[in-house]
C-alpha cells in the first residue's frame, strides 16, 4: 500500500472511532463526523484501486 492509502485509512479509522464513542456518549455533530469517516473510507478505496492499476 502506498503512503496516501495508509494515511486515508488511518484518518477514516480515527474518525469512525471518535464518531462511535461520541455518538454513544451523546456529543453533538457526530453524524457529520461519521459522514466524514465514510468519505475517507471511500477515498481509501479509490486510492487503493488507483495504486493497483498503476502497478
Tell me what pLDDT residue 55 has.
Answer: 72
Four-CA torsion 33, 9, 11, 47, nearest 10 degrees: -90
Amino acid 22: pLDDT: 94
**pLDDT of res. 39:** 95
52: cell is: 493497483
2-52 pLDDT per residue, tens: 898 999 999 999 999 999 999 999 999 999 999 999 999 999 999 999 999
- HSE value, Cβ hemisphere, 13 Å, CA-based, for 11: 16
Helix (H, G, I), strand (E, B) or coil at 11: helix
pLDDT of 18: 95
Residues in Cβ contact with 48 at an 8 Å cutoff, skipping those fewer than 6 apart: 1, 5
Determine the pLDDT at residue 24.
94
Element (H, E) at 44: helix 30-54
Amino acid at each position: 500500500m502506498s503512503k496516501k492509502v495508509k494515511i486515508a485509512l488511518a484518518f477514516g479509522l480515527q474518525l469512525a472511532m471518535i464518531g462511535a464513542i461520541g455518538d454513544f456518549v451523546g456529543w453533538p455533530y457526530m453524524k457529520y463526523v461519521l459522514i466524514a469517516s465514510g468519505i475517507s473510507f471511500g477515498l481509501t478505496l479509490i486510492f487503493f484501486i488507483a495504486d493497483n492499476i498503476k502497478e
